[in-house]
Structures are given as structure tokens and as C-alpha cells.
Structure 1
């Protein structure tokens, strides 16, 4: 019985192919799907920003958004949705900067 808690993470990992193998619908119906969809959005906004900013600036931006989002959501750090809200926060800040960069090119 004392090994049961140690086996729980392994059991979750073994279930991952079942979740990954399914057709995921964004925005998602459960926490795993929502986190997956949020990570796709962040990947997209990172790609767009990377193409518009010098490499050093992009790296500093990523570090800064991670620090700001961690600070903003620190009270929720032990919650199950913490990783998801951090990803969404990073993506929201990325998209705000992308909007500003787009506005600069229109004038």
C-alpha cells in the first residue's frame, strides 16, 4: 500500500497517449484540453513575436513576461489551473505586444 502514491504519476503518464491520441477540440472541455489549447496559442504568439523582434529582445521579453505572470498569479501557485493561467497570461502579453507592433507599422 505504501507504493500506491508513487504509482499514481506513472498511471497518469500511461493514460497520456489516450488523451493525446484523441481529436482535441479547442478551447477544450477539461483542464488537460484547455491547457493544451492554451499552449498552442502561446506557441503561435511566440512564433509571431520571434519573427518581429531581434533575438535578444525576444529572449528578454519572454523572461519578463514569465516573471510578471508568476507575480500576478502567485496566490494561485498551488492550484490545479496555475500552469494554464500562466500560459494564458504569457500569451495575452504577447498578443498585446503584437497588436502594438502592428499599430506601429500602420502609420
Structure 2
């Protein structure tokens, strides 16, 4: 939901877990919010991700809408997720506690 995004604190809450936003994610979110505002200026939908079908309603965009965009591409959501997790320690702090915080991982998983 839009209320789950804290731009000033660079945080996003997902499923009750507050996660910090890195520079790339923050830029993409700001670009998306600007696109969303221009494309659907009068929408009452409070979901962060909306599309043509959901902009005039109050429901969320379905998973199919997101995954269909990547269908047939070399990049998949899973590959992007793993790549992002591997890149984080190379560009920021490599500690497992940082990884656990950024990605919402269990500490043992982050250590591995």
C-alpha cells in the first residue's frame, strides 16, 4: 500500500516487515510513483502497484500482471531477486545482519 512506503526514511513495509530501500530501489519507486501520478492522476486506489484494470478500482494488481511482463525474458523475478541479494554485499555492507535486514532473511540464511 502507499502508506507502507516511507520516502523520507527510505523504508518500505512488506507483510509487516520494514525494510530499508537502497539507492536503485528508491529511484525506481520514485520513478514509478511519478508515472503512476501522471498516468492515473485521479485514482483512489491506495495500492502501490496498479495497472489499467485496477486504477479505477481499489484492488491490487494481480501477480500475473507482474510476471507476464517478464515472460520470455532471460530475467525472471527469481533471478532478479537472487542477483540483487548477491550484489548487495558487494556494493554495501557484507555482514549477514545487514542482509537479513534488507531482504527480510532469517539470520542463518543470511549467514549462509
Scaled by the length of structure 1, the TM-score of the pair is 0.32
Scaled by the length of structure 2, the TM-score of the pair is 0.31
Query: Higher relative CO (CA 8 A, sep ≥ 6), structure 1 or 2?
Result: 1
Larger Rg: 1
